[in-house]
Structure 1
Amino acid sequence: MPESNDATAASGLDARTQREVVRERYARIATGEREDGGNCCSSDDSCCSSEDAAAPSDETARKLGYSDGELARVDGDANLGLGCGNPQAIASLAAGESVLDLGSGAGFDCFLAADEVGPTGRVIGVDMTPEMVRKARANAEENGAETVEFRLGEIEHLPVSDSSVDVIISNCVVNLSPDKQQVFHEAFRVLRQGGRLAISDVVLTAAVPDDVRADPESVASCVAGASTIDRLDRLLADAGFESISISPNDDSDEFIRDWDDEYDVSEFLVSATITARKPESDDE
């Protein structure tokens, strides 16, 4: 079954509508406005669970796995309280590496990655929301992040050249794509031989309720578009990756259960760390 059809069945939305609702939601988050005129980072927003509606909560970031030291290293409002984990914790970044962040948002993970790879490394953030890219570029200036750049683009069609990056990171973004197979094909394309994928995302552990699956806001807020571990494993393998590991975070119910007002989302969703590697040579 083609991935686009499978995605429609999983989320209840066609691919075009899914992309539109995701782009609109994160544009509102980037500009700090909601359709009701309030701030996007409220306690009932999944992937954005700040207890303080005026600013993201450091406590939320700590629940996702960020240390106090990491929180202190980034100036400005790059930390929007989004995500479902800390890809830095699994990426094992080294000095001089090139890093690509899929769905980079306001740039928080990119700036942390830039610290790890140092002045001889580089970091590219790709986001499909113009408002987010503008916000991230402003944050880059505030942080003096000369080795970080942000590009507008979809993660299914990366504006990145072949075999040009060492590591791909991402934080709760792949679940938002209606064509996850294409995302992993693109990730494989831009990685150098031996390059690695290290992402945090959500995976399904049970069937999503029908009314949640068909709700555009649930899809746009990381709830209804996730795949099962078995399917993600298959998609990664079909893209050419090896050494695939998908490890659920059993403690993620601590923050996931608050992602929806009507449902305990942790009954069918869990965060996970997903790692994989591109073979060292074409012969492998």
Structure 2
Amino acid sequence: MSEVQNDQIRNNVRENYKEIALRVVSNDNCCAPSCCTPDENQNISIEEISKKMGYTTEELKNIPNGANMGLGCGNPQAIADLKEGETVLDLGSGGGFDCFLASPKVGDKGRVIGVDMTPEMITKARNNAEKNQFKNVEFRLGEVENLPVADSFVDVIISNCVINLSPNKRRVFNEAYRVLKEGGRLAISDVVMTTELPKELQADIQLYSGCISGASTIDYLADLMKQAGFKNISIIPKDESKEFIKEWAPEHKLEEYIVSATITAVK
């Protein structure tokens, strides 16, 4: 893809998440528009969506109001093994949901940085951080392909259903490698393609913004990560995720083409 085409995709994704940021105002919204569910007629709560993705009731009750917008396809917290004092970077942090969960795990000596390219998401996250006195959390406006983070600065990178949205995934993994310290690790939840999407779905830019058309195969992602320099690469598909994926756009039977996966690796 050309840079012009890449920018068109980013702009569409940005507009989609701007609308979500402005529309979702609380955690108990009854008809949550998930990352991959543009259908506003679903009668499903954000909490229900999050539990299907692997978050616990305990985690969900300690999140600032409006931070959890049901945007994701898994729970990177479950595989990150965060430790006190670590610096964590969340790629595509949205309203700050996973950042706020990571905050108490790394403690006062740790630090959590969220990066998102949608100004409205950054504003929402910063307001929640200030209102709820998260002293070790900050949010930066930027693209995951061009991270506003210094070299070898972070211990752990987490991300939840965001890398599929990038039109330049090679650049994302190169940037992730750059900002990680030696021995730093990736802990990512994302969708992967299990069989080729029909051409009409691949060409649908709205489905790209909905975490569908931008999905890649496991082999392709593993190759990109290897080329970036990562070791101990593991990409594990979660067949149980088909239970919520089939709700994203039922008319397309997406569960036949994509599945959520956990992605881990070490620098």
Question: Shared fold by TM > 0.5?
Answer: yes
Q: Distance in 1 between matches of 2:139 and 2:81?
A: 22
Letter matched to residue 246 of structure 1 = I
Instruction: Indicate whether 1:148 and 2:141 are aligned.
Output: no
Q: Distance in 2 between matches of 1:220 and 1:43?
A: 11
- Does the Cα contact within 8 Å between 1:133 and 1:152 map onto a contact in 2? yes
Shift of the 150–40 alpha-carbon distance from structure 1 to 2, 3 Å rule, reads farther
- Does the Cα contact within 8 Å between 1:208 and 1:224 map onto a contact in 2? yes
> Which residues in structure 2 correspond to 1:141-220 (within 5 Å)?
141-220=130-209
Q: Distance in 1 between matches of 2:251 and 2:207?
A: 11
Q: Distance in 2 between matches of 1:139 and 1:182?
A: 30
Letter matched to residue 150 of structure 2 = S
Letter matched to residue 21 of structure 2 = A
2:27 aligns with: none
Q: CA deviation at 1:45?
A: 4.9
List runs of 5+ in structure 2 lacking aligned partners: 25-29
Letter matched to residue 252 of structure 1 = S
Q: CA deviation at 1:261?
A: 4.0
SS in structure 2 at match of 1:14: helix
Q: Distance in 2 between matches of 1:79 and 1:199?
A: 17
Q: Distance in 1 between matches of 2:131 and 2:64?
A: 7
Q: CA deviation at 1:50?
A: 9.2
Instruction: Indicate whether 1:22 and 2:13 are aligned.
Output: yes
- Does the Cα contact within 8 Å between 2:85 and 2:109 map onto a contact in 1? yes
Letter matched to residue 10 of structure 2 = R
Q: CA deviation at 1:48?
A: 8.6
Q: Distance in 2 between matches of 1:142 and 1:44?
A: 25
Instruction: Indicate whether 1:236 and 2:225 are aligned.
Output: yes
- Does the Cα contact within 8 Å between 1:96 and 1:120 map onto a contact in 2? yes
- Does the Cα contact within 8 Å between 2:153 and 2:180 map onto a contact in 1? yes
Please tell me the root mean square deviation across aligned C-alpha atoms, in Å.
Answer: 2.1
1:96 aligns with: 85
Q: CA deviation at 1:17?
A: 1.4
Q: CA deviation at 1:242?
A: 0.2
- Does the Cα contact within 8 Å between 1:50 and 1:81 map onto a contact in 2? no
Q: Distance in 2 between matches of 1:269 and 1:165?
A: 30
Q: CA deviation at 1:41?
A: 3.1
1:44-96 Cα shifts (integer Å, max 9, x gaps): 9528989557xx52111000000011001112110001100000000000000
Q: Distance in 2 between matches of 1:232 and 1:87?
A: 17
Letter matched to residue 201 of structure 1 = D
2:115 aligns with: 126
- Does the Cα contact within 8 Å between 1:176 and 1:222 map onto a contact in 2? yes
- Does the Cα contact within 8 Å between 2:53 and 2:74 map onto a contact in 1? yes
1:79-117 Cα shifts (integer Å, max 9, x gaps): 001100000000000000000000000000000001110
Percent of aligned pairs with the same residue?
A: 56
1:138 aligns with: 127
SS in structure 2 at match of 1:85: coil
List runs of 5+ in structure 1 lacking aligned partners: 34-38, 279-284
SS in structure 1 at match of 2:251: coil
Shift of the 112–245 alpha-carbon distance from structure 1 to 2, 3 Å rule, reads same
Shift of the 49–79 alpha-carbon distance from structure 1 to 2, 3 Å rule, reads farther
- Does the Cα contact within 8 Å between 2:36 and 2:212 map onto a contact in 1? no
- Does the Cα contact within 8 Å between 1:165 and 1:192 map onto a contact in 2? yes
- Does the Cα contact within 8 Å between 2:35 and 2:211 map onto a contact in 1? no
Runs (4+) of structure 1 exceeding 6 A deviation are: 47-50
For these two proteins, the number of residue pairs brought into alignment is 262
> Which residues in structure 2 correspond to 1:246-265 (within 5 Å)?
246-265=235-254
Shift of the 245–44 alpha-carbon distance from structure 1 to 2, 3 Å rule, reads closer
TM-score normalised per structure 1: 0.88
- Does the Cα contact within 8 Å between 1:171 and 1:199 map onto a contact in 2? yes
Q: CA deviation at 1:188?
A: 0.3
Instruction: Indicate whether 1:224 and 2:213 are aligned.
Output: yes
Q: CA deviation at 1:139?
A: 1.1
- Does the Cα contact within 8 Å between 1:30 and 1:131 map onto a contact in 2? yes
